[in-house]
Amino acid sequence: MNAADYIRSFHDRLAIRRRGEIVPREEYLDFMTFRANTLPMFTEIFGPLIGLKEEWAAQGAAPDELDLWAFRFRFPEETRLPVNTGWLDGDEEVISEDTPKRLVYRDRMGRRMEMAKTVATLALPTTHPVETMDDWLRIKHHYEFAESRIGACQPAPGKVATISIPGGFDEPRQLMGEENLVLEPFVNIGWA
């Protein structure tokens, strides 16, 4: 099992049951283009933090509140197009430490990742692949266009066609780390 599957298993143990209203494509497009907003869109992405369900139960939450069934989500019916707009390829993940309290592994970007299993379901990098321009030149091929970035898919009529793209702050943060990302422009002009 690779690290991503291992982390997904934590999410599966949260036993979330989503109930929701499928929003028609036209209503979604009206909402996203500010033409109309009859009801807000509401969705859940990550689920509750580790220990939160137990805390809610101790405070008297009902079972359908604990598995999020009581919450009414609204989301479009979508076709996610198989397009990779971020890091492409890379090394195989290698788990170097797996204890009841901690998971440590090297991810496909070559970063050393650590996750405290008792309090988190998200591993955090302790190293980053880009510290210098030479580092960037060495890895930038992972972001260049390749035909393999685009998979075969025919969007279904009436569904919202979507692709996922890395965030404009998040992807550089993954490559450089937060501190280097926010300080680097100031270093280059002599302010830091």
Rounded distance between C-alpha atoms, residue 126 and residue 103, angstroms: 13
In a domain, 4, yes or no: yes
Our count of domains for the chain comes to 1
What is the span of the domain harbouring residue 35?
1-76
**What's residue 188's pLDDT?**
60
Task: Find the distance separating the first CA and the last CA of the chain, reported in whole Å.
Answer: 43
Residue 144 domain-assigned? no
Tell me the three state secondary structure of residue 166: coil
Q: What is the pLDDT of residues 23-37, one digit of tens each?
A: 889 999 999 899 998
The CA-based diameter of the chain, rounded to the nearest angstrom, is 57
Instruction: Check: pTM over 0.75? Answer yes or no.
Output: no
Is 165 within a domain? Answer: no
Q: What's the pLDDT at 12?
A: 67
- In single-letter form, the type of residue at position 94 comes to V
**Antiparallel, parallel or unpaired: β 73-76 and 20-23:** parallel
The whole-number pLDDT of residue 71 equals 74
Whether 51 is covered by a domain: the verdict is yes
Q: Is residue 189 part of a domain?
A: no
Q: How does pLDDT run across 134-168, given as a tens digit for each residue?
A: 999 999 999 999 999 999 888 888 898 889 899 89
pLDDT for the residue numbered 8: 64
Residue 2 belongs to a domain: yes
Question: Considering the domain boundaries, does residue 62 fall inside one?
Answer: yes
Determine, yes or no, domain membership for 81.
no
Instruction: Output the tens digit of pLDDT for each of the chain's 192 residues.
Output: 666 666 666 666 667 766 778 888 999 999 989 999 878 877 766 666 777 888 888 999 888 777 777 777 888 888 889 999 999 999 899 999 999 999 999 999 999 999 998 888 789 999 999 988 899 999 999 999 999 999 988 888 889 888 989 989 999 999 999 988 888 766 665 555
- Answer for the pair 163, 151: CB distance below 8 angstroms, yes or no: no
